[in-house]
Homo-oligomer: A and B are copies of this chain.
Amino acid sequence: MSVRNIFYRSIKSRGLRLTAQRKAVIDCLVASKKPLSAEDIYLHVQRRGLGINLATVYRTLDTLVESGLAERVGMELHRAYYTLCRGRKHLHHFFCKGCGNSYDLPHCPVKERTTEDLIPEAFTVTSHRYEVYGYCGKCSS
């Protein structure tokens, strides 16, 4: 079964309706190698000839995030980007300030700790961000 269909089924298994717009947004994200903004998705879908409203894109993305199927990332410049959660693993990255490439980090600081250890009181953790910046081997010299 294709990745796409796995997401389609996840939508239905949560009691949500599998609409043409939701399919289009998922297809877009499945096809993309990098996180996309709501507007990116809106334009991609339009280009494929399917009509979709920007508000619907936003609502669909919210739905995906709330369902645990997607993640919001890269809010650095006052704009959210979205990426599908494939499998169960999310990644953290090293960003090279020289060449702009990014590399996966081999660990997640949150997974390695218990919540009590991490936060003094009984807080609820919903997400986290961990990014390392610097220069890769090529750009260090």
Contacts and interface: CB of A to CB of B under 8 A. Distances in A.
Contacts of A110: 132
A136 interface: yes
A6 interface: no
Contact of A123 (B75, B106, B136): B136
Interface stretch (A22-30, A47-55, A114-122): A114-122
A12 interface: no
A25 to B, nearest CB: 20
Interface string A77-89: 0101000000000
A137 interface: yes
9 contacts: A96-B123, A105-B119, A118-B132, A122-B137, A124-B134, A124-B135, A125-B134, A129-B131, A130-B131
